[in-house]
């Protein structure tokens, strides 16, 4: 495998404060010991860097440090997550994975003539298309193909622009390209995805992963809200369409789905797993924030100063809910009335905090509203600065154990290892 290939299975493991790389990598090593290679990708968006006050060089250093510490001799990547032309520059020297976010350009009108030209170049998109792995053939009328082209061509062209911008600076084949269209309102249909992939091939983008939008809500740090059956249908259909596209167009044969999970979509993992086993397809799973919440859980578990920090982070988050949730408005659903007032939590023990925070839907004390709020409250920890890092260092073993176990047992095992 050449160094710029992602492999069949890969996992996006964001690490907000750059302290848990080794603990995260250990989970990948445990999978490897069971015979399954999962490529780790440390992803961080411009938004996250801005909120934490970090930069891509520290992200790169943290990844390299973890890899050295564990003597990991398999591929790994550092992902400039959700970048645009406006934000990509500082990532260029340090990243070898770029997630081109073109959701904003979806629906930006292109001339009808341009869409017509595209469809004329792709007569194969129209009509009755038998796609291996789909129960029914795709039926795409010329009008539907035209509508899809008009809706998505501008976004794909923009992806082409960003891709070429990066390629000119980093060189061909020196990085992995992902195209993300997940942060938008409507899921793409299988037919639309096929049109998008044809357009991506036309643009000459060697995309290895594509992140479409799925039905339902992918709220931060909590389970999927929606119809799991519908999700499974979309996921399986997308796998089939991607395979069809890689056989039809000049696209990397390893192109696979990327699922921006927002962490902890536990109810979807068995469904994804079943579809992957059935089709032999791989997947890239982005699940970034779950590690930061394990840091908090580790601090709560440790008691003392660690627990005090959890209290303070919650108190500040409660009063700054508006500010903290604004950048994530589309991906959280917090019912304020379900949040305990901070005054009511001052006496909470470690156990009470853990039961409210840790994602265990069967526990009657689990509070998904509190968990979502804390998921976006890492800005508060960033403001604590050295004090936060010192607390992490003081509870290093507890936190690391939680980070590894959480990733391995709750994410990697059900999605990549279960039979």
Nearer Cβ to Zn ion, position 62 or 179? 179
**Nearest distance from residue 71's CB to Zn ion, in Å?**
31
Contact status: 260 vs Zn ion (CB under 5 A) = yes
Nearer Cβ to Zn ion, position 40 or 306? 40
Q: Which residue is nearest to Zn ion (CB)?
A: 260
Nearer Cβ to Zn ion, position 260 or 371? 260
The stretch among 116-124, 143-151, 257-265, 275-283 that binds Zn ion (CB under 5 A) is: 257-265
**Nearest distance from residue 182's CB to Zn ion, in Å?**
5
Count of other CB atoms within 10 angstroms of residue 384? 15
Nearer Cβ to Zn ion, position 102 or 145? 102
DSSP state letters, 251-276: S-TT-EEEEE--S--TTTHHHHHHHH
287 with 263: CB under 8 angstroms?
A: yes
Q: Could you tell me which of 134, 99, 415, 97 has the C-alpha nearest to residue 283? A: 415
Strand, helix or coil for residue 82: strand
283, two tokens? 């997947």
Q: Give residues 173-192 in contact with Zn ion (rule: CB under 5 A).
A: 182
Q: How far is residue 264's CA from residue 196's CA, in Å, rounded to a whole number?
A: 28
Nearest-10 Cα torsion for 191, 196, 200, 201: 20
Sign of the alpha-carbon dihedral angle for 322, 330, 105, 199 = positive
The stretch among 8-16, 171-179, 255-263, 265-273 that binds Zn ion (CB under 5 A) is: 255-263
**Nearest distance from residue 260's CB to Zn ion, in Å?**
3
Contact status: 29 vs Zn ion (CB under 5 A) = no
Q: Give residues 294-313 in contact with Zn ion (rule: CB under 5 A).
A: none
Count of other CB atoms within 10 angstroms of residue 159? 26
Q: How far is residue 19's CA from residue 404's CA, in Å, rounded to a whole number?
A: 13
**Nearest distance from residue 268's CB to Zn ion, in Å?**
15
Q: Give residues 218-237 in contact with Zn ion (rule: CB under 5 A).
A: none
Nearer Cβ to Zn ion, position 207 or 300? 207
288 with 12: CB under 8 angstroms?
A: yes
Nearer Cβ to Zn ion, position 106 or 391? 106
Nearer Cβ to Zn ion, position 220 or 410? 220
Taking residues 357 to 386 in sequence order and writing x for each that binds Zn ion by CB under 5 A, - otherwise, the string is ------------------------------
The stretch among 83-91, 157-165, 256-264, 321-329 that binds Zn ion (CB under 5 A) is: 256-264
Length of the chain: 419
Nearer Cβ to Zn ion, position 243 or 260? 260
The stretch among 15-23, 161-169, 252-260, 331-339 that binds Zn ion (CB under 5 A) is: 252-260
Count the site residues for Zn ion by CB under 5 A. Answer: 2
**Nearest distance from residue 283's CB to Zn ion, in Å?**
14
**Nearest distance from residue 331's CB to Zn ion, in Å?**
8
Contacts of 34 (CB under 8 A, 6+ apart): 417
Q: Could you tell me which of 84, 100, 401 has the C-alpha nearest to residue 258? A: 100
67, two tokens? 């890899």
Q: How far is residue 115's CA from residue 142's CA, in Å, rounded to a whole number?
A: 11
User: Residue numbers of the site for Zn ion (CB under 5 A)?
Assistant: 182, 260
């Amino acid at each position: 495998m050449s160094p710029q290939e992602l492999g069949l299975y890969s996992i996006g493991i964001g690490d907000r404060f750059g302290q848990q790389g080794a603990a995260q990598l250990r989970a990948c090593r445990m999978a490897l010991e069971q015979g399954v290679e999962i490529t780790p990708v440390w992803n961080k968006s411009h938004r996250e860097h801005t909120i934490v006050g970090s930069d891509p060089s520290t992200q790169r250093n943290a990844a390299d440090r973890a890899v050295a510490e564990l003597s990991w001799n398999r591929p790994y990547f550092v992902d400039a997550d959700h970048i645009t032309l406006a934000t990509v520059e500082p990532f260029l020297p340090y990243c070898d994975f770029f997630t081109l976010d073109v959701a904003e350009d979806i629906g930006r009108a292109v001339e009808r003539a341009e869409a017509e030209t595209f469809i004329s170049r792709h007569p194969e998109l129209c009509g009755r298309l038998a796609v291996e792995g789909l129960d029914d053939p795709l039926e795409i009328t010329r009008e539907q193909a035209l509508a899809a082209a008009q809706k998505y061509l501008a976004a794909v062209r923009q992806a082409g622009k960003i891709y070429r911008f990066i390629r000119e600076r980093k060189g061909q084949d020196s990085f992995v390209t992902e195209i993300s269209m997940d942060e938008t309102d409507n899921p793409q249909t299988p037919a639309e995805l096929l049109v998008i992939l044809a357009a991506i091939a036309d643009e000459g983008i060697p995309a290895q992963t594509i992140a479409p939008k799925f039905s339902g809500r992918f709220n931060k740090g909590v389970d999927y809200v929606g119809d799991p059956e519908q999700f499974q249908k979309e996921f399986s259909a997308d796998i089939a369409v991607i395979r069809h596209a890689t056989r039809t167009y000049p696209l990397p044969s390893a192109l696979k789905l990327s699922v921006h999970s927002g962490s902890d979509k536990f109810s979807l993992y068995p469904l994804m797993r079943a579809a992957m086993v059935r089709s032999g397809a791989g997947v890239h799973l982005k699940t970034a924030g779950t590690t930061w919440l394990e840091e908090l859980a580790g601090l709560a578990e440790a008691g003392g100063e660690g627990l005090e920090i959890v209290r303070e982070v919650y108190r500040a988050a409660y009063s700054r809910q508006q500010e903290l949730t604004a950048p994530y408005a589309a991906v959280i659903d917090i019912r304020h009335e379900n949040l305990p007032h901070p005054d009511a939590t001052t006496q909470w023990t470690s156990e009470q905090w853990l039961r409210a925070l840790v994602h265990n839907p069967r526990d009657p004390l689990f509070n998904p509203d509190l968990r979502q709020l804390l998921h976006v409250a890492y800005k508060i920890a960033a403001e604590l600065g050295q004090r936060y890092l010192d607390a992490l260092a003081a509870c290093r073993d507890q936190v690391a154990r939680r980070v590894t176990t959480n990733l391995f047992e709750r994410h990697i095992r059900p999605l990549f290892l279960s039979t």
